[in-house]
Structures are given as C-alpha cells and as structure tokens.
Amino acid sequence: MNVHSGTSNSYYNAKAGLLLIRPITLKPNWSRSGLSTVKAEKSSGQWECFEIENEILSTALYLLRMGNCAQQLQKKHSRSVSDLSDPSTPRFRDDSRTPFSYAQVIPFTLFELETITKSFRPDYILGEGGFGTVYKGYIDDNLRVGLKSLPVAVKVLNKEGLQGHREWLTEVNFLGQLRHPNLVKLIGYCCEDDHRLLVYEFMLRGSLENHLFRKTTAPLSWSRRMMIALGAAKGLAFLHNAERPVIYRDFKTSNILLDSDYTAKLSDFGLAKAGPQGDETHVSTRVMGTYGYAAPEYVMTGHLTARSDVYSFGVVLLEMLTGRKSVDKTKPSKEQNLVDWARPKLNDKRKLLQIIDPRLENQYSIRAAQKACSLAYYCLSQNPKARPLMSDVVETLEPLQCTGDPLIPGATTAAGAAFAMGGVPDYRMHRRFAKNVGPGAVCRSPNPNCSPGGPAACRVR
C-alpha cells in the first residue's frame, strides 16, 4: 500500500516500510541515439506507445540479465565480484592485497536450499521483511560433501524484477567480500532462473527490535544495551573506514541481529551504497530507507554521506535509552516522533531521567546516562557536520562498557557513589568526542568483565 506523504513527489510504502521520493520525470531526448526528439506536445496515444516500447525494452534487458546471472556466478571463485555488478552497484578492488575473496561464499542450488528448509515450509519462517522472507535451515556433510555442520538463515528475496535483483546483487557484492565480527556472515547464495536467495549465519537471539519492543521478551539490561550499541557502532565504523567506504543506509533495530552472546551484527545490505571518494562530498541517490531513521538532509536532497548513518545510529541509541519506537502512532501526538519528543531533553539534566526506559531502574549511574544521552544528542544534530564520526562514537561508548549495573542516585555504597560522581569521564563536544581518563583513575564498576582498580578498562583510547 502506498500512502502519499503530503507532497507531490513522495510517498510512503507501508508494505516495505520505506519512505520513497519520486524522481522528477524529465522530457526524453533521443537525439544522441539517432532518434527524433520527442516533443511535449505529442498526443497521449503517442506517449502511451513510447511507454509501452520502453517497458518492452526494459523487460528484454532484464530477462537477458537473468539468463546470464547464474552462469556468471558459477565461474571460478577467484573472479572479482565487480565483474558481476552493473553500474548501479558497488565495485571493489580484487587483488592480492584484498583480504576478502568471493571464494568464502558458497554457490548453492535451489534444490539444496529447498531441501534444508523443507520446501520453505511456513513453520520454518524466522521473519518477513520488505525484501523477502527468512527461513531457518541446517547445512552439513549430508547436503554436500565437505560442508561444515551449522544452522543457517535462508532469505528468499521477493520477485520484484530488476530492483529485487539489484538488492540481491548488492548484498552478495558487499557481504561476499567484507568480513567483520559485527557484520552478519554471508555463507552462500543461489541464483537460478528468477529465484534470488541468500544464506547467512543463524543468529540465535533474533533482532534488537524484538528484544526492545516485544512485550513477551524480558527487557535488556543497561549493560547489555550499551554492549549492543558498541557492537553496532563498530560495525558501522568498519564500513565507513573501508578502503572504499560503504554507507549502510538502512540502520535500524530490525537490521541489528544478536547471536547467542548478544553480539550485535548488521544485516540486510540491500540498500547499502559505496561512499564518496576523493574530492566527492556525497553520493546522490534515490531516497530510500525506513521512515523515522533516515537523516533529514538525505530525505530532503538525496545527498548520502557517512553522517547519514550516524543520524540513524542516534535514533537507534535513543530507542535503546528510552525503550520507545522511533515512530509510535499509539502515543500522544507530541510524542509520536521519538526524536522530536526526546532530543530537547537529552542535554537537560533535570529532564533526562524522565525519558530513560523505566525498566532500567537501578541499573545505571547518572554520569553514564548523561554520557549516553549526550552522544545521542550530537548524533541527531540537524547539521551533518556537527555529528561525530562513527570511530568517535566507538570511543565514547567504550568506557560505558565499564558501568555494569551500578546504583543510580541514592547509592548507599562508597563504590557506587564514587562511580556515579567520577568513574566515567565527562563527555565533550570537540574534535574528539571522548576525553582520556587522567593518570591513576580506576574502574570502580562491579561489572565482572572489568578489572577492579584497572585503569585501562575505563579509558577512552
């Protein structure tokens, strides 16, 4: 279902959860191809003829692409993934210095994936999204000799023509070459006829979205939320600092998956884009993403930068701090948009505790809450240049991993009071977004993962 957003050139796709901006339609000019110029005064019948011919041409090109796809992907694995991409998809260098190779990804047959999902039985469904349905499966030596035994998640992409193929190809292109502890691992793919499938590592604990907002799920603790925030931040920082920077473009709670240890991993790279290079300041692209998470300047102009991801990270961090969704129509009108409601309170010490998730009571210090809220505040700046880099976000979150579950104001222990007053360094908005702890500072957190009295654990590096 498409809902107009109130402007003539944009609409919201409710099924996919996407806010889309209609591209401006220009008058076609065929002079360079030897055809006569099409004038605006032509009759409606002639325009219909032009549109039909254009559709036939597009369909023919698409079918030709589909026919060649499987043959291309089955060629020797040392071949560069960029050879398979079209001009709209990212290209990476594929030489001896590149640590990522396509050989890490397994080409599966459709029959094999039907076998491990019991012909995609409904009771094997793990989840459904705008780009397809995800099923649970299990691969082992019985499926194919030499396969390592492990559970997997099989995503079947919706058959949406050329756009669906591009999203599938984008995921293979990025995840087939990029490896990081905070990116979901792509194990394999399938490209047969018009079928497009992806095989990922299975993430036992599902999405961050479910843990934050499902009433049947136990609430995440403060320390676990900070750990997840750090892991997700490291994933984004890795993408932004790659040899060819990558802009994730669809950072949200449903795309952050958690393994058995609650390690956060970014998934769903269908909208990812190769970032600007050299003197380029941005990438101009069609506006796509999820309503409530997209940076305002990107929605308005289509100019995409790494700072667009930083804004989306700020929204997710705010969701973790408040326990509220980015957009919630069940709330009073002034509270439906989380950023509009919460951001003015993030730097107000008197109002800050009013917006923290009440389920986190007695799990954090005032200083830790102030630092986390201040970080969210700057990530959500309207001015992209005022937002921190993701590497700075990582540095700011690292000392918050020391907080454990100390008492909040009213702490009765000396250690709790000392931690609340000075265990975490002040947050400062300068060139660096974190300040080193002075010599002799110690970690007083009861968190068993921190070394009592150990200075290194609490320092921002």
159-167: long-range contacts (C-beta < 8 A, 24 or more apart)? 159/194, 159/195, 159/196, 161/62, 162/58, 162/62, 162/65, 164/131, 164/196, 165/62, 165/65, 165/66, 165/69, 165/196, 166/86, 166/88, 166/89, 167/131, 167/270, 167/271
Q: Which of 86, 94, 140, 250 is catalytic?
A: 250
* Residue (of 395, 379, 304) closest to 347 by Cα position: 379
Whether 261 is a known active-site residue: answer: no
Q: Is 155 annotated as a binding residue?
A: yes
> Which string of b and e fits 213-238 if b means at least 16 CB within 10 Å?
beeeeebbbbbbbbbbbbbbbbbbbb
Q: What are φ and ψ of residue 432, in 5° steps?
A: -100, 150
Structure tokens at 38: 């099409």
Cα–Cα distance between 112 and 116 in angstroms, integer? 6
The residues assigned a catalytic role are 250
State the binding site: 155
State the binding site for ATP: 155
